[in-house]
Amino acid sequence: MTPEFDHRQTAHCESGAMAALLRHNGLALSEPMVFGISGALTFAYIPLLKVGGMPLLAYRLPPGRIIKGLSSRLGIDMRFHRYRKPEQGMAALDENLDAGRPVGLQTSVYWLPYFPQDMRFHFNAHNLVAIGRNADTYQISDPTFESISIADRASLQRARFVKGMLAPKGLLYYPQSIPQDPPFRAAIVKSIRDTVNMMLRAPFPFVGVNGIGFVARKIRRMQNDSSEQALHRNKLFIGHMVRMQEEIGTGGAGFRFLYASFLQESAGLIAVPELSDIARQFTDAGDEWRRFALYAAKMLKGRMPLDFEKLADQLYKVMEMERSAYIQLRDLKLKVVA
Amino acid sequence: MKIDEVPQDQLKSFEGQRKPLYVLDDAGKYTTQLSSGWEAEEVVLEQALAEFDVAAQTALGRVDNGLASPLEYHMYRCRMDHRVLAQSSGKWLWQVRRHCRASVFARMKERSLQCYADALGMTVTDLRRWPPAESQS
């Protein structure tokens, strides 16, 4: 049994799954709107937290914040269920699907059978929407794929109940009720304010705009140690950074293009044309992020001499561009009531 | 990025999939465009995969020489490290390190092995078998 479901491919899994669930329940929002209103854009470098042996580098807030941020700002009542036993979790999933209700699931990437082999890593906070089932298979609207995917029961169960960092514990979610007329203006203004605060006024040097400079200085210091081990480690770090920025469903440039698209759409929605101009600056900053990735890849591949100084300079440039864009956003002094 | 600058480098790792990027169209409005991948992504992806491959190959030799247990090989084969395996099997990090030693592994109880087998998505028999089954090499 497969209910009617409007599957659309998006750049990021969490904003895509959330947009799909809301669309199915009558609230059509674009992916950039979902991402922007949730206020999930950030930059953070937290060396104490290790992800797959590498320090945590994030261009967005931790998994779950998109769903929670969006639903609290728009007044959407989301229901979340976690399960102790895999059997319970699968039974609850079946119950929802049999009742014709598509639900969002949190899963591991590694154990999903339809993922390309080279893309499978131990990342436990992937989001997808289960839309229907047959005897032993599930139809899945996975926002990172072009068409509907199929997963067998055993694999889906394993993917939902992996242990470890960010363990999903079978998380299943769906909107219970959606307000008739969500407060878009207030939500947009508040989310922009929060993002600006986080990026410009974070109390730690490794978060926000300053965090970009923090990483730039770390990369600059890398040239001081030219032992073979250090070189290998440093190359891995730079590769890891580019992967987090480009590969993990970011829509390009570590979500910066997605955010620019949000600002552009908001400019029309709440009639603040200045937002359009600032969106262009985020696009320019995103282009510089891409240039950083390109330099890094060329250096790793040996098509360009390995030059940590050049990479650090490029990051500094990105930092200054982002800073000026956030300052302009702040100086708009947007009001909740027009 | 503009719509005509979207990279289409036909990455092998995408296995024919494409993914959307947010780009500006000719009128300066945001839209999405599907990309078959960017070479820069492939470089860093290969780098990350090679890291696990090299570790798995090294482990293969170490197990053959009695320096490590099959657990070490299967851990890297499943793209894990000691920390990830500890988290996903429910063991302590020091236990995982210890169980990667051949002599300790040989004395391990069925129940302990089962924890690792579950985390690695294989059976205890396969975990014990050396050299590994064809599908797991």
> Which stretch of A298-302, A334-338, B82-86, B133-137 has the lowest confidence by average pLDDT?
B133-137
pLDDT at site A157: 92
Judged by a CB distance cut-off of 8 A, whether residue B50 touches chain A is no
For B:51-80, CB contacts with A below 8 A are: 51, 78-80
Distance from CA of B67 to the nearest CA of A (A): 23
Q: What six digits make up the tokens of A288?
A: 């510089």
For B:84-123, CB contacts with A below 8 A are: 84, 87-90, 119, 121
pLDDT at site A3: 62
Q: Does residue A125 contact residue A166 with C-beta atoms inside 8 Å?
A: yes
Stated pTM of the model: 0.88
Tokens 């600056």 locate to A281
Average pLDDT over residues B85-97: 92
Average pLDDT over residues B112-117: 92
Judged by a CB distance cut-off of 8 A, whether residue A321 touches chain B is no
Answer whether B47 sits within 8 Å of A50, measured CB to CB: no
Look at residues A188, A190, A189, A207 and name the one whose alpha carbon lies nearest to residue A199.
A207
Q: Count CA atoms within 13 Å of residue B3 on its CB side.
A: 10
pLDDT at site A227: 86
Judged by a CB distance cut-off of 8 A, whether residue A263 touches chain B is no
pLDDT at B6 over 90: no
For A:62-101, CB contacts with B below 8 A are: none
Chain A residue numbers with beta carbons less than 8 Å from the beta carbon of B79 are: 52, 110, 120-122
Chain A residue numbers with beta carbons less than 8 Å from the beta carbon of B39 are: 297
Please tell me which of the candidates A50, A120, A146 has its beta carbon nearest to residue B83. Answer: A50
Q: Which residues of chain A have pLDDT under 70?
A: 1-3, 338
Look at residues A189, A212, A209, A296 and name the one whose alpha carbon lies nearest to residue A247.
A296
Please tell me which of the candidates B13, B28, B40 has its beta carbon nearest to residue A118. Answer: B13
Please tell me which of the candidates B18, B38, B39 has its beta carbon nearest to residue A146. Answer: B18
Please tell me which of the candidates B20, B49, B51 has its beta carbon nearest to residue A251. Answer: B20
Judged by a CB distance cut-off of 8 A, whether residue A279 touches chain B is yes
ipTM of this complex? 0.84
pLDDT at site A253: 86
Q: Does residue A190 contact residue A73 with C-beta atoms inside 8 Å?
A: yes
Answer whether A260 sits within 8 Å of B22, measured CB to CB: yes
Answer whether B40 sits within 8 Å of A251, measured CB to CB: no
Chain A residue numbers with beta carbons less than 8 Å from the beta carbon of B15 are: 116-118
Distance from CA of A121 to the nearest CA of B (A): 7
Judged by a CB distance cut-off of 8 A, whether residue B128 touches chain A is no
pLDDT at site A124: 87
Please tell me which of the candidates A50, A260, A293 has its beta carbon nearest to residue B30. Answer: A260
Judged by a CB distance cut-off of 8 A, whether residue B2 touches chain A is no
